[in-house]
Amino acid sequence: MRVRRNGIEAHLINPSRSSAMKSFFSLLSISTTFSITLLLLAHTTSVFADSIHGCGGFIEASSSLVKSRKSSNVKLDYSHITVELQTLDGLVKDSTQCAPNGYYFIPVYDKGSFIIKVRGPKGWAWEPEKVPVTIDHRGCNANEDINFRFTGFSLSGRVLGAVGGQSCRLKKGGPSNVVVELLSSTDDLISSVSTSTTGDYSFKNVIPGRYRLRASHPDLNVEVRGSTEVEVGFENSVIGDIFSVAGYEIRGHVVAQGNPILGVHTYLYSDDVLEVECPQGAGHGPGDRKALCHAVSDADGKFAFKSIPCGDYELVPYYKGENTVFDISPPTVAIAVEHSHVTLQQKFQVTGFSIGGRVVDGNGAGVDGAKVFVDGQERSFTDENGYFTLDQVTSNHYAIEAHKKHYKFEILRNILVLPNMASIPDIRAVSYDVCGYVRMADAGYKAKVALTHGPENVKPQVRQADQNGNFCFQVPPGDYRLSAMASTPENAPELVFLPPYTDVSVRSPLLNIEFSQVKYAPADTAIEEDRWCWEQSSIDVDVGTEDVEGILFSHRGYWVDVTSSHDVDARMIQPDGESLPLKIKKGLQRLCVESPGLNKLEFVNSCIFFGSSSINIDTANLMPVHLKGEKYLVKGQINVDRTSVTSVELPESVVIDVFENGNVLADGTIAKLLPDQSDETEVALYEYSMWVNPGQKITIIPSDLRTLTSATSSSTNGLKKILFYPRQHQIAVTHDGCQGSVPSFTGRLGLYIEGSVSPSISGVSVRIIAAGDSYNAPLKKGELALETSTGSDGVFVGGPLYDDISYILEASKPGYHLKAVGPHSFSCQKLGQISVHIYSKEVTEEPFPSALLSLSGDDGYRNNSITGVGGHFAFENLFPGSFYLRPLLKEYAFSPRAQPIELGSGESKEVVFEATRVAYRKGQSKGLHSECKNLNIGLYMLLSDDSFSFIWSELEHCAMGVITLLSGQPREGISIEAQAESKGYYEETTTDSFGFYRLRGLLPDMTYIIKVAKKNDLPGAGIERASPESITVKVGFEDIKGLDFVVFEEPERSILSCHVEGERNVELDSHLWVEVKSAGEPSKVKSSFPLPLSRFFQVKDLPKSKHLLQLRSALPLSTHKFISDVIEVDIEKHRHIHVGPLRYRIKEDIQIQELTAAPVFPLVVGVSVILLFMSIPRIKDLVSGISMPGSTSTAKKEVRKPVVRKKTF
C-alpha cells in the first residue's frame, strides 16, 4: 500500500509478509550505523518535502507473460530499465533506474506538464510506452501511480543473401521485402513482417512458446537451411540464418532511337567475383579479358543475368557483324549488386555503326587529304589512297560531300546508308583549278587572262589578274588554251606578253602557268641621278640625219625629302652663315639644298614642337627628314586686381602647376609679371606658356607660393596671399595644330578670418567649415576648409579662403566647453572630471576585474562605461552639475552601492568603491544564494522473496544566477532552461522576486546550454532579448554560480510610421486625411488626421491589435474618383514599425461626358419639356414624400471597386 503525507512517500508492508517485516526490523536492531542512516534520511526528507514533488509507479509483466512463465525461467529483473521524465518536446529532464522489483520514483522540482517514458532492453514491448503527467500543488497526476506493463519479447533473424566477393558492401546482409510469417504450432498465422534493407526481420510482443517460421518473396527463390521451428523463452530470441537466397537478377535494355535491338551481346565482368551461375556460358567478349557470363538481347531488346551474388560488376555491350561494328553507349556500365535485383536505369543505346568510302579524281585515282562532310558537318578525311571511314552512323538518308582546295567534287544527295552496305559510292571530282601568274614589267598596267578552246559544254572565260598578277579558273576536265592580254587593250596596245598563249590538258589541278610582259623604253634623254637637283632634269631633242650638240645639264644642288605633319615656317642656315627662308608644307616635299656641306634647318616662331628646335642636313650623307609634331604650345594670362592687394606687394611670378588625371602632377611653369606696366593700372598682367602633348587633358592651377609667417599672430599685415578665380582650368588638346589661348585667371587677395577666444587661452582648435558649395575650391557644404588654433593671446587667424562662399567656425579644446558669442569670437569654460577607483575587500593577488559604471546627470545625461582591469576609470568633459554613479558587477556587492556627486566648473573629483564578493563557496550559505547541491536520498525496498535492498541516488548539482534589467533592477518570472548538448537532458526554472534562479538536477560531466526562454504564459513574456543569448557550461562536481543575464523588455509604446506616394495636386493635397481603423471592426476609426505636407506621418500609442491604414479625400471631385490603398498592420507583433508606401491615385470618371450646346440645344429643350409633362405625377409624389416628417429615402450608392489590402508582418 502506498501513502503520502507532507510530500513524503512511504510503502506499507502487506500483513501477509509479516516474516519479512520481522527480518527487516531485526536487522535494524543489529546495526547502530543503519539507525543513524535512517535519522539522516528522515532529516533530509523533511527539509525538502515541502518543495519537491515526485512521480512514481511500477514496471510489471502482463498477465499473458505471467501465465507463460515457467519455474525454470530466469526471474525478471527490472533494475536495467530506465524511466525518464521528459518535456513535452521530448527532452530528458531527469531519469532513474528501476528497482529490481520494478519500482521507480523521480523527484520533480518544477511544476508543469511533462511526459513519463519507459526505456528497457531493445525488443521489449510496453503498454503504454509513455504517459503525460501534470505537476501541480496536488503532486504528480494527483499522486497516482504511473505503471507500465511489460507485454512481450522480440524474435529476430535475417534472410541471408548471396555474397560473391570482397566488393560486397554488406557481407552479412540480405534482401529486403521478404515476407516472414510467424506461425503457431498448429500453423495459424500469428504475425508477419517484411525484412529490412539489410535482410533483418523482427517480431515484437512475442510471448514465450513454440513457433514455426515461413519466408517468401514474389521475385526471389528463398531457400531453407535447417529447421524452421523455434522456441521463445523469457528473453529476446535470435534465430540463426535459416533463410537465404542464391542471387539476384541484373536486367537491362538495348535500343536504337527508341526501338529495341535484337542480338546484342552483353558481357559480365568482375574484379573479385570469380564465378556465377551461368547456363548460357561466358561467351567470347571483346579483348582478352574473360567474362563471367554473357546475355543476348531478345526481340524486345531485353537481357538479364540471373542468380548473381552481391558484389561489384561491369557490363560491356558488344556487336560486330561481317562489315558492321555497332557503336553502343555507354560502352561500359559499372553496377553494384546489393542484395536486391538491379535494373539498369540507363538503357544501352546503339548510337551508330561504321562505314567506308573513297574520294577519286577524273582518272579514278584516290584524292588524299580531302575533308568529308555529312549533312554539312565535317566527319572524316581521306588517307593517301583517298579512302575514308564514317563512324557512329545510323540508318538514314544523308548528303555526303568532299572538300579540298583546288578541287570540286560531286555531292551524294539523299543517299540511304544502311548497316549492310559494303561501302558508300565513290565521290568523284567534277572540276579543277587552273591557276597561274602574270609578271608585269610596268606597274601602271594590269593584265587579264582568257581561257578558250575548251570542250563544247564550257564557255570561254576571262579572269582579271589581281594586284599581284595571280589568276585562277575552275573548269571540268578537258583541253584548253590560255592567253594573257592587257586589261584595257585600247589604252595599252604596245603591251606584249610571252608566251602569247599556252595549251593545257586538265586532268588534275594546274597551278604553275606563267606569262611575262615584254618591256621596251621610248627614246629620250634624261639624267637619272636622283640625289642631285638640276636646272633641267630632262631635255627633249629631235634626232634627224645630223648630230645634236650643245645639250647641257647644270647641277643646282642636292635633293632632300622632307615629310612634315604640319605647315611650319623655317629657315635654312647655310655653311657660310647665310639664311634662306623656307615654308614647309604639310605632307611630303623635296627641298633642294644648294650649298654643299653641313646645313641647319631651324623653325621660326613655331607653335608646334617637332622634337628639337633645329635639324642638321649634311649633303655628304643625305637622309630623309621627318617632321612630326610632338607637342603644342599653350599660352595663358593671369589678371591680378591691384585694388585688392594695396597693402601687399605683388609677387614677381606665379607658380603654375599642371596636373594630369585629376591629381597627378605632370609639369609646371612660371607665370611672369610682364614688364613696363604702369602702377596706375587696375590690373597687373602675368603670362605663361607650356608645351602640351596631343590628346593630353590637363588641369592648370596657379598658386601664390610665397612663404609666410604663422597665421596665428594677431597681426597679418603684409602676410596675405593671392587666390585665383577660377581655381583651375581644364583643357584638352584635341585640335591638331596651334592651340588657342587658355581662358584667363583673375587673382585677388584671399579671404582671412580673424577672431578670438575669451578668456585668452592658447591651443584652442578652430575649424573653418564651408557653409555652402564652392565653385572654385573643392569644397562642399559642411566640409572642412581650414583648421587653425589660437595663440597665447587667444587670437586666431585662418586663411587664405575663397570669397565665393561664407564659412562657419567651430572651436574646441579637450577639457573645455567653447560657445560662440559673436561671428568670430568664443567664450571658454573649463569642464570637470570624475575619477573612479574600485578595490576588493578581499586580499588577493589577482587584479580587480572590469566592472560596469553607470553615470547619470542633469538634462538627461547618461554614460555607461567599463573600467579597466584594476578598477580604474575617469569620466571626462563633464559640465557642472549633480551626478549619480553606480557600479555593477555580478558576484559582487559595492559599498557604497551608489554615490551622488556635485561637480563644479573645472572641478575634478575622485570616488572610491569597496567591492565584496557575494558568491559563496561550498558549505557557506546566505539567504537565497545558498548552496543547492544535496543528496537526493531515497530508500527503496524490494519486497519479494523475503529480501530487501537499499538504493542511493547519485549526486546532482545546480546552476545559479541573477537576471536583471540593464538598470540593475531584478526581473521576476523569467523562465530559464538548461538543455544538454547530448542525450536530451533538460531542466527549467523561473526567477524569484530578487531575479535569482536555481536550476536543479544537473548531472556531472555533462555539458549544458543555459539560456533565457520565452514563455507566453509567464510574467516574463514581454522580454525582447537577453544578453548573453546563452551560456555553455560543463558540470563538474561543484555547483555553478554567477550565470547572470541582462534582459531587455519589449517597448510598451507603439509607434507606427508610414510614407505616402501619389500624384501631387496643390488643391487635393490640403484635403487628404489619414484614417486608422480596427481590422476587426473596419467601421471603427481609431485615429484620423490631415496628411502632413512632407507626406510622412507617425501614429503613436495604438492598442495591441491589427489595424488598417488608408487615405480619404475631403475634396468633392465631380469628374474623377479618389482611390487609396489599404495596408494592414499588426501592432501585436511589431511595436515599432514602418510601412509603406501608402499609394493613392485619381481615376477619371468616364461616365461623365461634355456635350456641345449649339447643335443639340433645341433637341434637349424639346425632350426636356416632354419629360417634364410625363413626370408631373412622380414629382407630386416626391414633393409629398419630402414633406412627411417620418419618411425615408434610399439613394443608390456608387459601386466602389474592392481595394487590395496589403499585409505587413
In this structure, of 268-277, 557-566, 742-751, 1021-1030, the range with the lowest mean pLDDT score is: 1021-1030
* CB-based contacts of 1164, cutoff 8 Å, min separation 6: none
CA pair distance 109, 442, nearest whole angstrom: 119
Question: What pLDDT is attached to residue 848?
Answer: 83
Q: Is the peptide bond before 726 cis (omega within 30 degrees of 0)?
A: yes
Return the CATH number of 954-1049, one of 2.60.40.10, 3.30.470.30, 3.90.180.10, 3.90.25.10. Answer: 2.60.40.10
Say whether pLDDT at 372 is over 90: yes
CA pair distance 941, 951, nearest whole angstrom: 8
* Pairing outcome for strands 908-917 and 832-840: parallel
Say whether pLDDT at 950 is over 50: no
**H or E element in which residue 514 lies:** strand 510-518
Question: What pLDDT is attached to residue 251?
Answer: 93
**Single-letter code of the amino acid located at 266:** T
The mean pLDDT value for 119-148 works out to: 88
pTM: 0.38
Question: What pLDDT is attached to residue 936?
Answer: 36
Say whether pLDDT at 994 is over 70: yes
Model confidence over 1111-1136: pLDDT tens digits?
988 877 666 788 889 998 887 777 77
Model confidence over 795-806: pLDDT tens digits?
999 989 998 899
| 452 and 462 Cβ atoms separated by less than 8 Å | no
Which comes out higher in pLDDT, residue 390 or 707?
Answer: 390
Q: Confidence band (pLDDT; 50, 70, 90) for 708?
A: low
Look at the alpha carbons of 822, 824, 825, 826 in this order and tell me if their dihedral is positive or negative. positive
Say whether pLDDT at 1205 is over 50: no
Return the CATH number of 556-627, one of 2.60.40.10, 3.40.50.720, 2.70.170.10, 3.40.50.2000. Answer: 2.60.40.10
Main-chain phi, psi angles of 37, to 5 degrees? -60, -40
Question: What pLDDT is attached to residue 1039?
Answer: 79
Q: Confidence band (pLDDT; 50, 70, 90) for 630?
A: confident
Q: Which three cell numbers stand for residue 984?
A: 536530451
The mean pLDDT value for 592-596 works out to: 85
The mean pLDDT value for 780-787 works out to: 92
User: Homologous superfamily of 248-346 in CATH?
Assistant: Immunoglobulins (2.60.40.10)
Question: What pLDDT is attached to residue 1202?
Answer: 38
Provide the residue count of the chain: 1209
Say whether pLDDT at 481 is over 80: yes
| 747 and 639 Cβ atoms separated by less than 8 Å | yes
**Of 1106, 1122, 1009, 1031, residue with least CA distance to 1072:** 1122
Q: Confidence band (pLDDT; 50, 70, 90) for 577?
A: confident
Rg, Å, the chain Cα set: 56
CA pair distance 1074, 1114, nearest whole angstrom: 11
**SS3 at position 621:** helix
433-518 topology per CATH: Immunoglobulin-like (2.60.40)
Question: What pLDDT is attached to residue 711?
Answer: 42
Question: What CATH number should be reported for the domain whose range is 356-425?
Answer: 2.60.40.1120
As separate numbers, helices (DSSP H) first and strands (DSSP E) second, the chain gives 6, 92
Place of cell 585677388: 748
* Pairing outcome for strands 293-296 and 1030-1034: unpaired
154-245 topology per CATH: Immunoglobulin-like (2.60.40)
2-151 topology per CATH: Immunoglobulin-like (2.60.40)
Q: According to CATH, where is 2.60.40.10 located in the chain? A: 2-151, 248-346, 433-518, 556-627, 831-917, 954-1049, 1055-1148
Q: Confidence band (pLDDT; 50, 70, 90) for 1151?
A: low
Say whether pLDDT at 244 is over 70: yes
CA pair distance 743, 681, nearest whole angstrom: 21
Say whether pLDDT at 821 is over 50: yes
Any idea which architecture 751-826 has in CATH? Sandwich (2.60)
The mean pLDDT value for 414-436 works out to: 84
What is the percent of the chain with per-residue pLDDT over 70, rounded to a whole number?
A: 81
Return the CATH number of 630-749, one of 3.40.50, 2.60.40, 1.10.10, 1.20.950. Answer: 2.60.40
Tally of CB atoms within 10 A around 1100: 10
Tally of CB atoms within 10 A around 199: 25
The mean pLDDT value for 931-947 works out to: 35
Q: According to CATH, where is 2.60.40.1120 located in the chain? A: 154-245, 356-425
Question: What CATH number should be reported for the domain whose range is 1055-1148?
Answer: 2.60.40.10
Model confidence over 997-1035: pLDDT tens digits?
988 777 778 888 999 987 655 555 577 788 898 999 988
**Of 696, 687, 704, residue with least CA distance to 635:** 687
Please compute, for residue 827, the number of CA atoms within 13 A of its CA located in the half-sphere on the CB side. 4
Q: Confidence band (pLDDT; 50, 70, 90) for 1170?
A: low
Any idea which architecture 831-917 has in CATH? Sandwich (2.60)
**Of 706, 729, 730, residue with least CA distance to 718:** 706
Say whether pLDDT at 1062 is over 50: yes
Q: Confidence band (pLDDT; 50, 70, 90) for 322?
A: low
